Amino acid sequence: MRTPPTRPAPIHPLNRAFFARSPRRVARELLGKVLLRDSPGLRLAARIVEVEAYLGENDPAAHASAGNTLRTAVLFGPPGYAYVYFIYGNHYCLNVSCGREGKAGSGVLFRALEPLLGIEEMARARGFPPPSLGDAQMKDLRKLTSGPGRLAQAFGITRARDNGSDLASPHAGLWIGDDGFRPIRIEITPRIGITQATDRPLRYILAGNPFVSGRRTPAKN
């Protein structure tokens, strides 16, 4: 019997110090890392391919610009914790707090992932009927985790379940790991879906990765 063609690389959690840096730095460094959800008998894993930095109370586009409120408290706490918010009455989105504790309320928004493990389960969580996965192509897989609301749904992330949870430790089940993957090329663009500070280059993506959110085929230049 041969060994399987690929064995999953060992994954280790990130240090607290990883998150205790500027949101720009954390955003860039998060590209290529892996988001994991461990539950009894099941692991979900997906590579981080698109994130955005939110700079804190002085960033007009950031939730933290409203100050340290009940909603945004996690952003103002220690780094490495999940800030989950509910938007448009429909969707949850995941951030991780960063910077130094109590400082600026900065964070990084997870915008798109590339599914690695537990794809069937992600599809189920997204509400796709079982047969749809058999003929799933790249286009369909993109709909699993390409977008902040989509990836949260695929991972079963809610405010009640995950807000304030420690992403630097596997203990709570939702965490971020390093499997040795290193990005080839990173692109930086303005952030998406905001109405304030729309031209600041704070969106970080793995160049050319098909799971990055947004338009696939630009019409013309």
Q: Is residue 133 a contact point for DNA (CB under 7 A)?
A: no
Residue from the set 25, 124, 126, 200 that interacts with DNA by CB under 7 A: 126
Nearer to DNA, 134 or 218 (CB): 218
Separation between Cα atoms, residue 99 and residue 183, nearest integer Å: 23
Kindly state whether residue 136 participates in binding DNA, applying the rule CB under 7 A: no
Choosing from 86, 169, 187, 188, the residue that interacts with DNA (CB under 7 A) is 86
In the chain the beta strands, taken as DSSP E runs, fall at: 12-13, 34-39, 42-54, 82-87, 91-97, 107-117, 174-178, 186-190, 201-206
CB of 125 to DNA, least distance (A): 11
Distance CA 169, CA 14 (A): 8
Centroid of chain to Cα 54: 13
Is residue 64 involved in binding DNA (CB under 7 A)?
Answer: yes
- Verify binding: residue 77, DNA, rule CB under 7 A: no
Sign of the alpha-carbon torsion through 171, 173, 176, 178 = positive
Nearest-approach distance from CB 48 to DNA, in angstroms:
14
Q: How many CB atoms lie within 10 A of CB 89?
A: 5
Based on the shown chain and the rule CB under 7 A, indicate whether residue 117 belongs to the binding site for DNA: no
The reply on whether position 181 binds DNA by CB under 7 A is no
What residue ranges bind DNA (CB under 7 A)? 52, 54, 61-64, 66, 69-72, 75, 83, 85-91, 93, 95, 107, 109, 126, 143, 147-151, 191-196, 213, 215-219
